[in-house]
Each structure stands twice: as structure tokens, then as C-alpha cells.
Amino acid sequence: MNQSSAPAFSMSASAGRFMPKLNRATLSGDLAAGITTAVMLIPQGMGYAMLAGLPPIYGLYSAVLPLLVYAAIGSSRQLAVGPVAMVSLLVAAGVGAVAEQGSESFILYAILLAFMVGALQLAMGIGRLGFLVNFLSHPVISGFTSAAALIIGLSQLKHLLGVDIPRTHLVHTVLLTAIERAAETNLPTFALGAGGVLVLVLMKRYAPRLPRALFVVAAGTLIVWGLGLQQFGVAIVGEVPAGLPPLALPSFDLDAMASLLPIALTISLVGFMESVAVAKRYARENGYEVDANKELVGLGMANLLGSFTSSYPTTGGFSRTAVNAQAGAKTTFASVVTALVVALTLLVLTPLFYFLPKAILAAIIMTAVFGLLDIAEVKHLWKVSRRDLFMLVLTFGSTLMLGIEEGILIGVFASLLLVAVQRLRLRGKLPGRDLWTDAEVHPEIQREGVLALRLGAQLHFGNVAAFKQQVRVQQEALDEGRAKVRALLLDAHALRDVDASGEAALREIAEECRERDILVWIAGLRDGARAILERSGLARHLGAAHLPVDLERALGAIEAQEQARMT
């Protein structure tokens, strides 16, 4: 089976197939994608470095060697690695606790943090601990991401207004300070920043294919240079060092490493989660599989080796990966092209950034991160699971009120506690049952072309990855052994609890089956689980006939469907 027709379920791709040999068909797409992504990455990287509390040049340093290393090791062909908003905020929060922003120590510790993140991710990858990301449920991630988006966006108010606002994760403090000092707003700075936001929003809507970040950077720089606005208090980037990043060992400070360990672990997991989520999406669209443990190794080596070239922690980004894929990236050679374009910029184009106003970089950051506010997930959970909505709100509030690390830890522990309580409750109702069984081949059903799996008592964020893996592995085994799978039958008689992550997993499997012309049947749903699928719209998507009350009716319907197919 060639790659273009490979099924989404295929698990047989070897590591050597993750970067196919270049040919004319892939080369043109990779060149276009690499250049397009670099055009987006250069201003974005500088802005994210500023968000991390670093000079903008470190955003470019972080977009050279890490990209080349990931291209050689990583398993995703479309993933665009580099500085991202979430990780940049975590760097600012973590390193800011041990060194003053703007100081030499702050820069050294940020680079040291990249080494620590890389070492942790590499160790987890070698130890095959990719499953750890399963402890970050959809509601927890959504609540954390939305809160972080507010913190990130509002942290740029000082650059947008030209007013000194102390850095803090407390949103209300930032807003109150901005209101109190509104009279001190530098009007040329505000005009540039607000104008940048307006142009970015309009271009995203009416000209989404154009490099809007590069456009506002060029326009803002020319306006400041032409009108001499730096003389009127408009903050500019100023002198940007030319040349490739220096090669040097990180500054190993044991006391600092001990203080940075919690944030390093947080970045390792959050960065991996963000990266693998977007990597799997585009892998599915392009007919190949992403190996979570290989991703950990690739990201780990990218961060670890990147720290030797003054890089701060990096990971795969949502927006840049989308641009990379849409521009035609077919292999990781696109990332090599992106890194070379950034390196060329460092060598000869840095003088062009002298008059770049920081308000424009703030506008780029704010428009990017406010898109992370996940209102749709709140509406979805209101209909599907009030319990998971509570987890989202708890994580959101904890992150805003207590801090980045504390918020995500509270969300994770609360999720695990709820699952443990539910398991104990079900244990009392179902003594002797293995409540952690995700999906097993149904021993009583053997039909040609039918994959029958029996679900356990719970389908939640902690076991959905194993559930999806089992479905795909069993589907592949049947495909290789005899007639192709034409129907997936899930026996849900024992299923008593489904959370939002479980519902999302069922929806994902159903969508993949639909793309492969495989019919899905879920038999024996209990009232509680059925109600969840009905509220989410998945029951309507599958059709009432595909949710029979027992296996006999499901099998009869499958046989009738097969007869209709053959006539």
C-alpha cells in the first residue's frame, strides 16, 4: 500500500519512512513551506522571546539548531518546532523566580532551562514514558490554555500602551494598574500597537494566506524610521547582534537547577502535549503515524543541543504547523529550509530590525494567543459533562489566581482524584470486574469483516489513548489476516462512565472509520452513557440505528447492511 493511500489506522510505518526520499514532487512543496514558515517564524520568534523576558534575538537563536535536530530525529513531517507563546510564558514565570528579567543571569538560566527540558524529555522518551501526557485531560488543558492566553495577552499591555506595568500572573492586578496609569499612555505607541492588532485581525479574515506578521513588522518599522517616532518615546528593538548563535556550554548552576526543576518538568510535559497533539492531527490527515516516544526523543534532543547555541525551550507550535502543512510540507526537509532562512536572516538582515517597535511585537503576540481562549469547549462541556466543566473552571481559576505551575498541577490532581473516586464507586457496583480494561477483542463474536471489541466500565482521559491504540491495532491485525474490516462493533454493556475525553475519543474513532468507509455500531449503551453521547451530538452523527440495545440487534443490522452492500 503506498503512502498516499495508507489508512489512518496504520501502525506499521517504520522510523525510516518518517522522512521519505526527496523528489521533485515533495521538494517544491517543502521549499515553499519552509520559506513561508520562516517568514512567519522570524517576527513571531522575536515576539515570543520578548514574552519570555529575553532580548528578541534569542527567538531567532531558538529557530535554527532545534529545527535542524528535530528534522533529523522527530517523527512528524509537518511539525514546525520553535519558540511558542505558552512555553515562553512558562520560561518568564519560572526563570523570573530566580533571576531578574533583563539581567545576564536571567538569560543564562533560560538557556540552562532548555538543557534541563531537553534532558527530561530525552529521558522520558528513552524510558517510553510518552503515556504521561494522558494525565493531562482535555478540560484541564483547555482551562489551563485559556487562562494562560489571558495572562500572556495582558502581559503585553505595557508594550501596547508604553506604560511600565510590573509583571505578574494576576490578571486583575495588571488590569487595575493599566487603568490607573491610562493617563500616562504613550499615544504614538498605542496607535502603532492598536493599528497592528487591527491589521492582523483584518488580514486573518480577508487575506489569510498573506504573511500578516511580516507585513505589520515591515510597516511598523518603516513608520517608526520614517517619522522618527523613537524620539517620542516609542520603544524599539534597537541593535540586534548579527551572526549565527554562539556555540557554548550552558552555565550549570546546581542551586539554580534545583529551583528550576519544577518549571522544567512542567515545560517538558506541556510542550510535549502541545507538540504531539498538533503532530497527530496532521499525521492523520497525511496517512502516517506519530510515535509519542520518538517525539519525546526528537524534542528532547532539539532542546538539549539547542541550549549549546543559546536557545531557550522550544516545542512544536499550532499556528506555524498549520501554515507549514497548508503551504505544502511533505517531509521534514521543510524544517531544514526554515532553519536556513532564519540563519541567513541572522547573518545579513538583522540591521533591518533596529527600528522595529516593541508595540508591533506585542500586537503579534496578543492576536496569536487570544485565539487560544477556548469558548467552544466550555459550551461543549456544558452539554456533555458538568463534571468536566468543573475541572476546566477549576484549572482556569487556579491558573489565574495562583500561577501557571500551580494551576495545571491542581487540574491534574483533581482529575485523577475524580477518576479514583468514580473507580471506587463502580468497584462497589461491579465487584471483581477489571475497571481499567480499555477495549478487548470480544471472545463471543467472530464475523468476517467485523471488528468486535468489548469496553470496560470507564472511558476517561487516563485510558482513551490506550483505547484508540487497541482499536487501531486490532483493525490492522484483521486487515492483514483476512477480509478488510467493514464494521466496528463496540460492546458497551459494561460502560458506566464516559468523560469528555472519552466522548472525544469515540468521536475521533468514528470519524476515522467514516473516512475509511467503516460503519460504527455501539451496542448496549446504558442510559447515562447514552445521554452523554446524545447531548454531545455524537449519537445523532452515528444515527439511532447504530446504537442498538443489544449485540444481537447490532449483528443483525450489520448483516443486513452487508447484504444491501452486495446487491
Predicted pLDDT at 502: 83
Last residue of a domain, one of 340, 372, 404: 372
Indicate if 451 and 315 belong to the same structural domain.
no
Query: Do 352 and 445 belong to one domain?
Result: no
401 falls within a domain:
no
The CATH number linked to 481 is: 3.30.750.24
Structural domains in the chain (count): 2
At 255 the pLDDT is 92
Taking alpha carbons only, the member of 107, 114, 153, 91 closest to residue 404 is: 91
Q: Residue with C-alpha cell 545579513? A: 348
Question: pTM of the entire structure?
Answer: 0.72
* Residue 539 pLDDT: 86
Asked if residue 77 and residue 194 are part of one domain, the reply reads yes
Q: Which residues span the domain enclosing 498?
A: 439-566
Would you state the pLDDT for residue 224? 95
Do residues 464 and 501 touch, judged by C-beta distance below 8 A? yes
C-alpha distances out from residue 151 to 155, 161, 192, 396, Å: 6, 16, 22, 11
> Does residue 379 lie within any of the structural domains?
no
Query: pLDDT truncated to tens, each residue of the chain (567 aa)?
Result: 333 333 333 333 333 333 455 566 678 888 988 998 898 889 889 989 988 999 999 999 999 999 999 999 998 999 999 999 889 988 988 998 899 988 999 999 999 999 999 999 999 999 888 776 666 677 887 888 788 778 878 888 889 999 988 877 678 888 889 899 889 999 999 999 999 999 999 998 898 878 888 889 899 999 999 999 999 999 998 888 889 998 999 999 999 999 999 999 989 988 888 788 778 777 767 777 788 889 999 999 999 999 999 999 999 987 788 778 877 888 899 999 999 999 999 999 989 889 999 999 888 888 877 777 778 888 888 888 888 888 899 989 988 888 777 887 888 888 778 777 766 654 444 444 443 344 555 555 667 778 888 887 778 777 777 787 778 777 776 666 555 778 888 888 878 778 887 888 888 888 888 888 888 889 888 888 888 888 888 888 888 888 888 888 888 888 887 777 666
Domain stop point among 318, 346, 372: 372
- Compute CA distances 125 → 7, 151, 291, 301, whole Å: 26, 31, 10, 10
Domain boundary among 372, 391, 407: 372
187 lies in the same domain as 270: yes
pLDDT of residue 495: 82
454 and 357 within one domain: no
